[in-house]
Amino acid sequence: MFSQINPAASDTVLPDRVDVAIIGGGIAGTAAAYSLAKQGHRVVLIEKGRIAGEQSSRNWGWCRTQNRDERELPLQLLSMQLWERLSAEAGAELGFRRSGLIYATRSETELASWSAWIDMARQYQVRNTVLSPAETRALTPGNEQDWIGGIHAPTDGRAEPAMAAPALADAARALGAVVLQNCAVRGLDIRGGQVAGVITERGRIAADRVLCAGGAWASMFCRRHGIDLPQAGIRSTVFATTPGPEVTPGGLVTPDFTISRRLDGSYIVAAQNRGQMEVTPQGIRYARQFWPTFKTRRKSLTVGVGRSAVSGPEAMTGAWSFDKPTAMERHRIYAPAPNPAVAGPALAKLKAAYPALSGLGVGGVWAGWIDLTPDSIPVISAVEQLPGFFLATGFSGHGFGIGPGAGQLAAELVIGRAPSVDPTPFRYSRFTDGSRINAPGMM
């Protein structure tokens, strides 16, 4: 069972021509659509299933600076400012609260690495603090685990994944954007070596600029047009509890579980180290590029073969025709099966740590397919080899919190406006010109 996603309104009539066509109605695509519509551009947002059906509704909702790759930090800080005003601006609740995040640990190495991050982030005016064991205990009332210390990120927080992207899509639509759901983009219309529009399952839409914010499907989509985008997936299982007493207002990371308190009083719970990397045709294609990251994260992953080898965004190897149904239509919402071994043990550990939560039950279990890049930061960029084509994808397991800024930055690049933050780290060309720096990053 999966959380209820707020419905977003849809249009039925395809526009003949727009300024920008956006593929994918996750947080990146909806935020870009909102930003473009706000500036008066004619936009169509095209989603093969429903707005936020994939990663953008399946995540924990964390909007964090702590432990974020330094290359993403300016964009995350911009996103935090946007999150603060988006509910009021959009006239709809996105669920954002600066409810604070706490990281508690029993590992000296872990604490040292988090502290080093805090030292680095001071130059960006991020004021997260290192906690003593007593301070960690004081911030985790009712918790019976033992800590050697922790981290407090008081201005970090979370938004509600079931609400945020639908609210942005509706806000974009209210500003004039056309929103199409249940409408897959089968391919790009390319004329004279540049983008001239998109070909959807319902027909063609002319557009000189196309932004692909297709999440885990972006690599396959690009490959169909001769564009190489290294991307690999991890299946990640989480579950929601039934509502219960508040033990933390925001999020808490412990060595045994991570919990995130939702507005309805339930918790999203994730077990540590239970990401599943599956062998897929696309994974094999990019194995060499992902090898350094994989080695760094080996302990936090299991590796196996699942349905993703034969079905889904990483299974397609060949080209497809634009006049027949495609894999995108066969998977309106890609919903990988959750790992059945996660919820029971994690709930037992949560209850052992918090006797006050002993009455909690499992409210729903689901999985999401996280799309990674080899250096664990996204691509938000023009694709130079195909004029008019842009990407906002590869958010590597932490794209929800950075989504509003990522959408705004993508919009700025698409319309050639001065970017709010330096887009250089996110350039597509780092994968083609040999300049990519491998960094393990943190998901």
Interface contacts to ligand FAD, rule CB under 6 A: 23-29, 46-49, 53-56, 58-62, 184-185, 213-217, 221, 236, 238, 328, 368, 370, 393, 395, 397-401
Shortest Å distance, C-beta 144 to ligand FAD: 25
Pick 175 or 270: Cβ nearer ligand FAD: 270
Pick 14 or 356: Cβ nearer ligand FAD: 14
Which residues make Cβ contacts (< 8 Å) with residue 414, sequence separation at least 6?
20, 32, 36, 209, 211, 390
Pick 210 or 288: Cβ nearer ligand FAD: 210
Pick 13 or 418: Cβ nearer ligand FAD: 13
Shortest Å distance, C-beta 22 to ligand FAD: 9
Shortest Å distance, C-beta 34 to ligand FAD: 13
Shortest Å distance, C-beta 132 to ligand FAD: 27
Pick 29 or 100: Cβ nearer ligand FAD: 29
Shortest Å distance, C-beta 355 to ligand FAD: 26
Shortest Å distance, C-beta 187 to ligand FAD: 8
Pick 148 or 439: Cβ nearer ligand FAD: 439
